[in-house]
Chains A and B, each alone.
Chain A
Amino acid sequence: MSIESTHSHDNDAHPAAPGDHHDHKPTGFFNRWLFTTNHKDIGTLYLVFALIMFFIGGGMAMVIRAELFMPGLQLVEPDFFNQMTTMHALVMVFGAVMPAWVGFANWMIPLMIGAPDMALPRMNNWSFWILPFAFTMLLSTLFMDSGGPAAGWTLYPPLSLQGGQSFAFVVFAIHMMGISSIMGSINVIATILNMRAPGMTLLRMPLFVWTWLITAYLLIAVMPVLAGAVTMLLTDHFFGTSFFNAAGGGDPVMFQHIFWFFGHPEVYIMILPAFGVVSEIIPTFARKPLFGYAAMVFATASIAFLSFIVWAHHMFTVGMPLMGELFFMYATMLIAVPTGVKVFNWVSTMWKGSMTFETPMLFAIGFVVLFTIGGLSGLMLAIASVDLQYHDTYFVVAHFHYVLVPGAVFALMAGTYYWLPKWTGHMYSETWGKIHFWVSTISVNILFFPQHYLGLAGMPRRIPDYSTQFADFNMISSIGGFIFGASQLIFVGVIVHCVYKSRKAAQGLVWEGGKGLEWTLSSPPPYHSFNTPPLIDPTTISHPEEAH
């Protein structure tokens, strides 16, 4: 490819740049992976870790769906069931989705803004290597006498304080995850603000970089609040304080306020990078620039801002004053406006485009359609007066799984298919990618759509048994769940095949319509890329016109 050769020529033209120019990887397995400070290696570590956690969390989901296959208690003890729902959520949120996005950030941000690496490479190594320890600690509670946490991922007191000694491990694990996320975010912000190649102005940055910049600020703002909340739980449990203990003058409802002050921005932490990835993929396969780039940036920023003032929509039933209910109801509905702007922009980008439907595009379109369904059920939940009925039912479960599974997780898969050839230098199997997409998309709807009806009919969440009128839809949902779980094995198969077996070499510009600096590099990119800043050529970046 001519682009590659121009690039290597470019590299040679600036031999004076500081640092090691050789494309040497450190030798030896441990040297390479344990001590690595290379953004590509660390990105890979994060992604592999997230995939493992996705399967551990998924295994727990299979236990849950198996128990709910039929009414009655068949497979597991109720207390273990509760541990499964709690752990499933903690593992998926903090172990799978968040680290996967950090993995994407590590791999792609330096490539997209023309930086040689992340700003703080050593800290980068730390942020990753904290995670396996945190999750070993969290998962080990399942094997302790008092069992794993069982009060739900929201850890509401007083229930969460009635567990045994293993609770301390949960709290410390959450502390470690928080520290890891904060360090990762600091790195992302420093990289984006300080290390862009000359000419890569803020309003020329790819949307994935923009969404991650905003996500990183959200993380720095709310992860410490979660750390504070669980610290207060810890001292209430073990040291006799009464932050949330009504008998001692505390207030359990205050925990809910603090938790959701973290929790609602947290759901946007999981979805904003997804918006970014989808905004990269759709223009590529529609062969048109993104419709309304600036609108997308502002929509992302306003979603981030609004996410701080809507937390109590999770608490409509605690007995808020009427004015409070109204405020949080309208503020929540307001979020639908910038979210709608995004959806319309994606659709307008596809409008009259020369579209092709490779696997990344399929997942991106699946994202747009199914995430929107989740957004609409969110709007229903935002109506305070009807939330009194929906709250804590399967309707809520259906809502957040639509936004998180065919939402965040589909975007992760879309991004994986999109950049896997870039990362590995090989093409994945398009046939198997498409099979993966169709099986996942059909089964995810069989899995979650019936849960809307279960919730409207009154089936409560987080209960291992249910009355018999819910039997049919639960069985359908479980069958969908098993198919969805199994279809993720295809995903792993495609990745393993692509990395180790695929003989089809990928070009530098993997996708014909691809724009952005990452495509000016070879596939795989050299171990050290952009040691000298690239020249920003308006024809190769996605948003050249926005700089004025």
Chain B
Amino acid sequence: MVRTDQAERQPSHTKLVRRLVLIAIGMFGFGFAMWPLYNVFCDLTGLGGRGVKVVENAGELEVSDRQIKIRFDATVNSALPWVFQPKEKAMVVSLGEMSEALYLAMNVADEPLTGRATYNVTPPEASLYFVKTECFCFTEQVLLANESREMPVYYFIQPDLPEHIKEITLSYTFYLDDNTSSVAQASSSDQ
């Protein structure tokens, strides 16, 4: 601890001030570091349901005889005039079995629009055992005016899925992907 005595009544504050300024700058950086840390943390723990793994080639799969129900959910952000829904609301799959789910999207506007989908898995812990090989959410999707399209997802569930998970929900949300006009869009949509 810093002790004062008569001799150093007017001590130099430089060292202390420099240290405090560094803490402040460090904490400013910490705020931004939250961005990568948050994502790493979510990927590692599966929190937020985004621990899904993506592989190009599933290789040989060991199919177990345990079966589980997968539910499919779809949402569209209000800024995107699309209709979007799963073809089937749920299916039962065996663990380790490569499966395909189909979603259906339709652009009901009179202009071509680009959409981008985000996803998550519930319960979040299950996302760590969820593997996708192909998904419409990996790239942006363009639909012409009034065009509709089937969008597939290829996935499997790892056989080591914990026993207590009985059901998994895969959920997608489509957003308008238009960086340049999203500000205008947002401010005009709330009038």
Contacts and interface: CB of A to CB of B under 8 A. Distances in A.
Contact of B16 (A164, A189, A196, A261): A189
Nearest to B178: A247
A533 B118 contact: no
A186 B35 CA distance: 28
A232 interface: yes
A194 B25 contact: no
A221 B31 CA distance: 11
B20 A186 contact: yes
A146 B183 CA distance: 13
A225 B118 contact: no
Contacts, number: 113
Interface stretch (A249-257, A292-300, A387-395): A249-257
Interface string B160-189: 000000000000010111011011001101
Contact of B20 (A189, A197, A229, A257): A189
Q: How large is the interface on A (under 10, 10 to 19, 20 to 34, 35 or more residues)?
A: 35 or more
B81 interface: no
Interface residues of B, number: 45
A248 B140 CA distance: 11
Contacts of A186: 17, 20-21, 24
Contact of B38 (A18, A229, A248, A251): A251
Chain A residues touching B, majority SS: helix
A186 B13 CA distance: 10
A132 B179 CA distance: 36
A246 to B, nearest CB: 6
B57 interface: no
Nearest to A123: B17
Interface stretch (B3-11, B91-99, B128-136): B3-11
A243 interface: yes
Interface of A: 18, 119-120, 146, 158, 161-164, 182, 185-186, 189-190, 193-198, 202, 220-229, 231-232, 237-238, 240, 243, 245-249, 251, 253-254, 257-258, 261, 321, 324, 533
Q: Nearest 6 pairs between A and B by C-beta?
A: A228-B31, A247-B175, A224-B28, A224-B27, A225-B31, A190-B13
Given A158-B186, A238-B183, 14 more contacts: A186-B20, A189-B16, A193-B2, A198-B4, A224-B25, A224-B28, A225-B31, A237-B183, A245-B182, A247-B176, A248-B179, A251-B48, A257-B34, A258-B31
